[in-house]
Amino acid sequence: MKHSALGDGLTVSSVGLGAMGMSAFYGPTDEQEAIATLRHAVDIGVTFIDTAEAYGPFENEKLIGRALGARRDEITLATKASSETDDDGTVHGRNGSPEYIRRACERSLRHLGTDVIDLYYLHRVDPNVPIEDSVGALAELVREGKVRHIGLSEASAPTLRRAHAVHPIAAVQSEFSLFARDMLRNDEKATADELGIGVVAFSPLGRGTLTDSIRSLDELDAGDARRRLPRFQPEAFAANRRLVERVEAVARDKGATVAQIALAWVLSEGVVPIPGTRRRPRLDENAAAADIPLTAEDRMRLAEALPESEVVGSRDGIDAPDGVDR
């Protein structure tokens, strides 16, 4: 596996693994296969593992602690302070206060079974707390040795600038894929590049749409959270599947799968993707994308095959960058 530099001296595997779906949101889970997949990821060099206290809540962090506790030194572990959550799992809403960030961090350390988090994100910017206060709390955790690097998720360009002025931001995580290129339009990617902040892409496969694994909504479990998202409504899904079929033609010419081409495109933008999967064969498929170079002609063909203007439905369900410049 190749490696990529984020910011603040942090280097990670060029393709990571988003572990969220192993515990929540996408229907029934299989803990044995999840643990096997996490361990296989480390075996093949996919060592950038992403989780959050919100996934379960808490269950995903505990799963990673059980699966990889003995291999802690082999992985780069990222987690996030999310919406304020009680120990019993009751969620109250965003809380970026220094008090909550500290409490969340201490709890995540316990659940993960580690004494330090490699990359600790503020999961969403709290509009009621100045970003300087939130980042100041994260910076204090770095000084105490509980966190090595800090990041933000779905933060606007102005917020990134203000945050980085308080303490070096290693990474900003946002949704980014052929279906979601907001970062290129709203100056978030350009600002991150200017400041030396790495960019991490969640949902780089459009929550499974940019793969060959979901060709019909009937394949989704009744409890799958994607069924509530605009792009997974019947008309939108059908329209977007037609776009994916065009990408499949490009993939065939490269001897790759549509998922691999979609991830290779993200990598070609200088972004580290963290595709989620719960199964080892899909993990192997995703990891191989790091070895698929895209030429300028390939990128042009993809842009023509999947114009962002033709994507049907918003990506609502996950907040867009905060856009608040307080």
Q: Which residue is it, tokens 């079929």?
A: 245
121 annotated active-site: no
Residue-wise pLDDT tens digits, 75-102: 999 999 988 889 998 988 899 999 999 9
Given a contact cutoff of 8 angstroms between Cβ atoms, the answer to whether 150 and 7 are in contact is: no
Distances (CA, A) of 19 to 53, 95, 241: 12, 23, 25
What pLDDT digit, counting tens, does each position of 192-246 carry?
Answer: 999 999 999 999 999 999 999 899 999 999 999 999 999 999 999 999 999 999 9
Which helix (H) or strand (E) segment is 200 a member of? strand 198-202
Count the neighbouring beta carbons within 10 Å of the beta carbon of residue 174: 25
pLDDT at 309 over 90: yes
For the chain, helix (H) and strand (E) counts, in that order, are 11, 12
How many other β-carbons are positioned within 10 Å of the β-carbon of residue 125? 25
Q: What pLDDT score was predicted for residue 320?
A: 54
Q: Coil, strand, or helix at residue 94?
A: coil
Cα separation values, 173 from 80, 271, 310, Å:
11, 10, 25
pLDDT tens per residue, range 215-225: 999 999 999 99
pLDDT for residue 312 is more than 70 = yes
pLDDT exceeds 50 at position 123: yes
**Per-residue confidence (pLDDT) for residue 54, from 0 to 100:** 94
Number of Cβ within 10 Å of residue 37's Cβ equals 22
Contact call for residues 123 and 54 (beta carbons, < 8 A): yes
Could you read off the pLDDT of 23-65 as tens digits, one per residue? 989 989 999 999 999 999 999 999 999 999 999 999 999 999 9
Residue with tokens 């969403």: 124
* Confidence at 325, pLDDT banded by 50, 70, 90: very low
Which tens digit of pLDDT belongs to each residue from 149-187? Answer: 999 999 999 999 999 999 999 999 999 999 999 999 999
Catalytic pick from 26, 55, 100, 121?
Answer: 55
Residue 326 clears pLDDT 90, i.e. is over it: no
3-310 CATH choice from 3.40.50.1370, 3.30.565.10, 3.40.50.720, 3.20.20.100: 3.20.20.100
Helices (H), 124-233: 131-143, 157-166, 182-185, 188-195
Task: Give the amino acid at 276.
Answer: G
Does position 18 have pLDDT exceeding 80, yes or no?
yes
